[in-house]
Amino acid sequence: MPATPLEVENLSAGYGPTRVLEGVSFAVPAGARLAVLGRNGMGKTTLLATLAGQTRRYDGRIRMGGTDVTALPSASRAMQGLGFVPQARCVFPTLTVEENLFVGLKNRPKSAIQEAYDMFPRLHERRRNLGSQLSGGEQQMLSTARSILGRPSILLLDEPLEGLAPVICEELMKAFAELAKTGGMTILLVEQRIQSALDFADQVIVLERGRIAWSGTPDALAKDHGAVERLLGVGGLH
């Protein structure tokens, strides 16, 4: 399935009576890479969960490749080509690595899991291990690989580097960059490691209290020292 554009229009959403997102609008061209930044608690995770159909939507529209998916449940959005790797590393603890990967294949042949092993050789080494026996970094690789095997046209990544060793972070970001180069996926990345996110993305939005407070290119944000300090709480970026 080729990459598809994502359009979000006036999106307001939250949990129960609590609104977290308010009037969020942006568009991501097919094959582009969007970094979603902001301090903790500003709505980044809620945004991805809303795109995946996992929150209560109050207003707005979500379109994938021109198709309105606003009213579709999570499973139907996945069938339309949406892949979601949540912050909680969702692996099946009692299944082996290989069995976890088979779950992500959808209707593809079992031989296709070689794509996951090519991307993350460490998973091939651990293929007989149970999900519960993996390190945090290995679980993140498995969760990511399982989503990618379904060949989503839009991939949502929620803080994939959280709590991981630098060498694992480097391995994951290299894999994401390789994915992006193929042009086969539109990728949205939520990440607290700001420089890693900016190095990866070609577009950026910054959320503050559930609204978009800044949008533009990574280079423009890096040069906007006032915005970086005010919205992200860091003194500067290289």
Region label for 78, one of left (φ > 0), alpha (ψ between -120 and 50) or beta (otherwise): alpha
Strand ranges (DSSP E) for the chain?
6-15, 18-28, 33-37, 56-64, 67-68, 82-85, 154-158, 186-190, 203-208, 211-216
Whether 121 has a pLDDT exceeding 60, the answer reads yes
Rounded Cα distance, 19 and 222, in Å: 30
CB-CB contact of 159 with 189 (8 Å): no
Burial 144-159 (b: 16+ CB within 10 A, else e): bbbbbbbbbbbbbbbb
Q: Write the single-letter amino acid at 42.
A: M
Order of strands across the sheet that contains 203-208: 82-85, 154-158, 186-190, 33-37, 203-208, 211-216
136-149 and 166-182 helices cross at what angle (nearest 10)? 10
| Mean pLDDT computed over every residue of the chain | 91
- Name the pLDDT band for 235 (thresholds 50, 70, 90): low
| Burial of 18 from C-beta contacts in 10 A (0-12 / 13-18 / 19+) | exposed
pLDDT value at position 175?
A: 81
Whether 162 has a pLDDT exceeding 90, the answer reads no
Q: Does domain 6-91+154-232 have CATH number 3.40.50.300?
A: yes
- For 28-60, write each residue's pLDDT tens digit: 999 999 999 999 999 999 999 999 999 999 999
pLDDT value at position 86?
A: 86
- For 53-98, write each residue's pLDDT tens digit: 999 999 999 999 999 999 999 999 998 999 998 887 778 999 999 9
What is the number of H-type helices and E-type strands within the chain? 10, 10
Whether 234 has a pLDDT exceeding 90, the answer reads no
